Structure 1
């Protein structure tokens, strides 16, 4: 039986990500790797993480979209001032753009007369196309893998993509389904109600794995079905 290895919320932390794959002794021929989203923003090298994720997908990894990819796509493919500012100024999108070689002047905007900057990057364009095609969830006989969670009273297949990338408390407190839901998005120390960054095993068959690596926590990898956990700490 193949091991399932699940990682989420890498946020540009390419070194930790590669160290974690090594720590878990990931072998594409023997294991099924599942990544739950949030590869970009806030951390040092989103571009390198996306490149690595693309390579892993070609080797058979299953790749999901997170809310930070959602914000990135909206900011870069529309002319909405709100989407741009929300991503770049509030959610670390500036760090992502810096990783593609842009500098502060390239992404600056006139707040009185908003015009989205024109950003020329073939690599960024390729990465946008890659991200746009990612799925929002994976469902097996035993598990649901998703970035943020599921709507408690709906089948995952009936949930809105936005919800699967953004939901929090309603899912954490209200889920009572038969399948185990493995998710990221919300730092596990919030779920634990303490400074504990380890994987959260909820009593209602939810497993949170976002260790808040980009905030000084740790990057977690959950192995299934054993529930063994591999960790790279800051």
Structure 2
């Protein structure tokens, strides 16, 4: 792996492309010097989903690691139905649109050509579910830490086990994850309300960092710099 000056990690962009670009500007991200990890949930709920995907495609070409979240899992399943069954309405699609935050993404892709839909599907399919660098492990939603990280299924890594925040992770490792807005994690300092949401650190086990500060839910898009633990917000 190439030598980098620092690692920057963010998560849960949720179709807020302008926020992502402003956040990266705040971090002074330099692709040639830094390693950027985006921990999933690129799309849904926000209004700039295709723009976010385009940005992440470009970032990956420049060396960033883009991980899959549960909303990419939703998108992948629905794209398959749209392509294979040539439909824009099914139980799966309607659930995604009506209940799982997919309405804005659906509106952006429903009239795209089959070729463009296939390109998006291939990109989403190509996203890894975790990444390791030194003592850090990155995933969208933690892991089933009772088994080695490489033994985890996709669902283990894009959906959070109820026990995950409360239990030790992996020995001598630190897990960096998103998925759950930090104010919903245990032992979060409630004085930091949504608009001032902060990155969460597991102070019991010192082996987990939650970086989803709920930007699309009235919070902030966050990034953490490693190993300095410097925080950035947009």
For the aligned pair, the TM-score class normalised by the smaller chain equals 0.7 to 0.9
Deviates more, 1:138-147 or 1:79-88: 79-88
Displacement after TM superposition at 1:121 (Å): 4.9
Structure-2 separation of matches of 1:176 and 1:35: 20
Contact 2:169–2:208 (CA under 8 A) maintained in structure 1: no
Displacement after TM superposition at 1:126 (Å): 1.2
Instruction: Tell me which stretches of 4 or more aligned residues in structure 1 moved more than 6 Å.
Output: none
Structure 2 spans left out of the alignment, 5+ residues: none
- State TM-score, norm by structure 1: 0.87
Identify the residue that residue 200 of structure 1 maps to in structure 2: 200
Structure-2 separation of matches of 1:193 and 1:86: 34
1:71 and 2:74 aligned: yes
Structure-1 separation of matches of 2:149 and 2:20: 28
Displacement after TM superposition at 1:30 (Å): 0.8
- Matched residue SS, 1:89: helix
Identify the residue that residue 170 of structure 2 maps to in structure 1: 177
Contact 1:13–1:43 (CA under 8 A) maintained in structure 2: yes
RMSD (Å) for aligned C-alpha atoms: 1.7
Structure-2 separation of matches of 1:13 and 1:95: 11
The 5-angstrom pairing of residues 140-151 of structure 1 reads 140-151=133-144
Identify the residue that residue 130 of structure 2 maps to in structure 1: 137
Structure 1 spans left out of the alignment, 5+ residues: 103-118
Structure-1 separation of matches of 2:42 and 2:53: 7
The 5-angstrom pairing of residues 105-116 of structure 1 reads none
Structure-2 separation of matches of 1:176 and 1:230: 25
CA offset digits 1:16-55 (Å, max 9, x no partner)? 0000000000000110001111010000110000000000
Matched residues, number? 216
Structure-1 separation of matches of 2:122 and 2:98: 23
1:217 and 2:210 aligned: no
Contact 1:71–1:87 (CA under 8 A) maintained in structure 2: yes
1:55 and 2:58 aligned: yes
- State TM-score, norm by structure 2: 0.87
